[in-house]
Amino acid sequence: MADRPRTPRAGTGKGEVTPQPWMPGDGGAADKRHAPATLRNRDAITAVLADWLPASGTVLEVASGSGEHAVHFAAAFPHLDWQPSDPDPAGLTSIAAWRAEAGLANLAPPLALDAAAPDWPTGHADAILCINMVHISPWNATLGLFAGAARLLAPGAPLILYGAFVEPGVPTAASNLDFDANLRARDPAWGLRDTDAVKAAAAAAGLAFAERRAMPANNLMLLFRRT
């Protein structure tokens, strides 16, 4: 089963607010939000990032969501500067709250960054990571991600995607088909993307496909490098 974001739930009712499961655009009163899939996938993602990230520099995480991944990865890679970002004000608030709690010197304050925008509020990155955005956003967000990566990255630098995809010639798991239907019911512009279409769009922007890794729960990690 692909990583499934969830809608918010209430707090404990005992005077304390618990982090809330959420999807992009969901409302909620809690500053710190919680994406349940993060705890399930973060160690597997970290293992691949250890192979693909550079030895030093700044990693721009696009669509950081709740901020839990950013905290985990910044702690796992203290030699890298971690720059989280998100377009959702509630996401930015959550990222800032998790960051304040973690107190990590290499984790920067979050940027308000819309992947689809023609201009991003940063001019440099040594690597870009994007987790669970491509299928939970309109296609123009993915095109904007590739365009932004082409502007910011030096030749050879990595753009790394994680999420659920459809692969031509590979049977799609029934749970992923259900997930795709659920996403499209929520927003017709969302849905699992064809990896051939993703690779073609990346190539058109100047990003060469380099490697694919199969991940737990029928997810993939895709590595692209700036040409």
CA–CA separation, 71 and 68 (whole Å): 5
pLDDT at position 1, please?
54
Phi, psi of 207 (to 5 degrees): -125, 120
Helix, strand or coil, per DSSP, at residue 76: helix
Q: Is the pLDDT of residue 218 over 90?
A: yes
CATH of 36-226, one of 3.40.50.880, 3.40.50.150, 3.60.15.10, 3.90.550.10: 3.40.50.150
CA–CA separation, 29 and 23 (whole Å): 14
Closest to 94 in 3D by CA, of 31, 154, 138: 31
Domains in the chain: boundaries: 36-226
CA–CA separation, 64 and 92 (whole Å): 8
Can you spell out the DSSP letters for 87-135?
A: S-HHHHHHHHHHHHHH--TTBPPPEE--TTSSS-S----SEEEEES-TT
Summarised one tens digit per residue, pLDDT across range 48-67 is 999 999 999 999 999 999 99
CA–CA separation, 84 and 212 (whole Å): 24
Bridging pattern class, strands 127-131 and 57-62: parallel
Secondary structure letter of residue 65 according to DSSP: T
Summarised one tens digit per residue, pLDDT across range 155-191 is 999 999 999 999 999 999 999 999 999 999 999 999 9
22: which 2 tokens?
A: 């959420």
